[in-house]
Chain A
Amino acid sequence: GENVEQHPSTLSVQEGDSAVIKCTYSDSASNYFPWYKQELGKRPQLIIDIRSNVGEKKDQRIAVTLNKTAKHFSLHITETQPEDSAVYFCAASKSGTGGFKTIFGAGTRLFVKA
């Protein structure tokens, strides 16, 4: 069945350093890869996404890369700030007649130390 693996489960960085979170997916039909950020006690919210026909996408301090051949995708956060501290979820999604089915990774808890 579909599966998304996410690593690491916990990541601690110093303010200003970079953070990288990696995911792999099993379903080769997946064609949309969003990343969600969940702050403590709040709902997950989309921060960036990438489609299967693109290898890289950047939005200010956040970038995502996708390797479809290897079924890997990664989130890169540069110049981390304390407000980046949260749980980050990667997801793999495929469109079908019923819309997008989205499977999430287990999450990465990011701590940014001031």
Chain B
Amino acid sequence: GAGVSQSPSNKVTEKGKDVELRCDPISGHTALYWYRQSLGQGLEFLIYFQGNSAPDKSGLPSDRFSAERTGGSVSTLTIQRTQQEDSAVYLCASSFRGGPTGELFFGEGSRLTVL
């Protein structure tokens, strides 16, 4: 695709429900990243994938958060039993491992609101 695509762009859910956020990276990009951005805050690292494996899951806030990537392409971030503090914009980014830099190309984000 032309860019990183994320869905849904907006999600409102009730506390305690599960949510799934999807990221479709740029075609050919082998690395995929998830970040969380709370209102007016920085970019909090959650997890990244190289291919289908996740070398570093250290940023996942709790065991309610999980992510997977299949076929070296689409990734899904799942939040179980959502809490109000999970409300944030979840940004996905991809990069081409073989490129000259580690530039990240971001999607538009998925804005999650937990009521």
Contacts and interface: CB of A to CB of B under 8 A. Distances in A.
Interface of A: 1, 6, 32, 34, 36, 43-46, 49, 51, 89, 93, 95-107
Contact of B55 (A34, A46, A96): A96
Given A43-B109, A44-B43, A102 B104 contact: yes
B43 A99 contact: no
11 contacts: A1-B58, A6-B42, A34-B102, A36-B104, A43-B108, A49-B101, A89-B43, A93-B102, A98-B56, A100-B31, A107-B42
Nearest to A44: B106
A47 B106 CA distance: 13
B31 A89 contact: no
Given A34-B101, A43-B107, A49-B103, A99 B42 contact: no
B106 to A, nearest CB: 4
Interface of B: 30-31, 33, 35, 41-45, 48, 50, 53, 55-56, 58, 91, 95, 97, 101-104, 106-109
Contact of A105 (B42, B55, B106): B42
A1 to B, nearest CB: 7
Given A44-B106, A104-B43, A99 B101 contact: no
Contacts of B30: 99
B46 to A, nearest CB: 12
A51 B53 CA distance: 26
B50 A99 contact: yes
A73 to B, nearest CB: 15
B1 to A, nearest CB: 15
A88 to B, nearest CB: 11
Given A43-B107, A43-B109, A95 B45 contact: no
Nearest to A34: B103
A103 B107 contact: no
B88 to A, nearest CB: 14
Contacts of A89: 42-43
A93 B101 CA distance: 10
Contacts of A95: 102
B45 A97 contact: no
